[in-house]
Structure formats: C-alpha cells, structure tokens
Amino acid sequence: MLRQFELARSVQLRPYNAIAFSGPIAVFVSVFLIYPLGQSGWFFVPSFG
C-alpha cells in the first residue's frame, strides 16, 4: 500500500488516485492468489475431523 503512495508522489497524483489505482491490483491478487488457495481445500489449515 505504501508503494502506491510513493508512486503517487513521484507522478504528482493525489492520494485518492493511488487508492483507486490499487483497487484493480487488490482484485487481481484476491482472484488469482486467494481464490485458488480457497478452492484447493484449505491445505494450509489443519483439518478438524
């Protein structure tokens, strides 16, 4: 998140533009990283039963 603000300062953007810019990145990360992990049956969580 700090990287976006750093980028925004160098390009002279407003902070809310950096937040809006990080929106698609958050969607990309959640869809392509978190979703497959959830679909794999939570192999990284100990199974209770």
Number of structural domains in the chain: 1
C-beta separation of 8 from 14 below 8 A? yes
Position 45 in a domain: no
Residue 46 domain-assigned (yes or no): no
pLDDT at 31: 78
29: domain range? 2-35
Q: Is residue 31 part of a domain?
A: yes
Tell me what pLDDT residue 22 has.
Answer: 80
Read off the pLDDT of residues 13-33 as tens digits, 9 standing for 90 and up. Answer: 666 776 777 888 888 887 787
| pLDDT of 25 | 83
Distances in Å between the alpha carbon of 23 and those of 1, 8, 20, 28? 11, 14, 5, 9
